[in-house]
Structure 1
Amino acid sequence: MKIPKSLLIDPERNAVYGTFAVAISVFAFAYSTNFGKVLILAYYA
């Protein structure tokens, strides 16, 4: 799957991508104590 470059560069169009990225990072670090190192490794992979 290719993400169009305009979705990442254009500030008016990258809100969905930014929201998704922030939500995933908050989830990963909030539940890292429950799921351990595997979740953090998957996050950075």
Structure 2
Amino acid sequence: MSKKIFIIFRNFLLPFHALYAYQVKLLSIAIHTIIFQAYKKAVK
């Protein structure tokens, strides 16, 4: 694959990738929060 096509492809996918990364980050925060809450309940 030539570099020009790759750059066009990357620029096209960049917004989707940013949105995906943002959603993954939110999911990760949610999972950590749930685990932390469960841990606090277990410790008590």
Larger helix proportion of the pair = 2
TM-score, with length taken from structure 2 = 0.49
> Based on CA coordinates, which of the two structures has the bigger radius of gyration?
2
TM-score, with length taken from structure 1 = 0.48
Query: Greater relative contact order (Cα 8 A, min sep 6): structure 1 or 2?
Result: 1
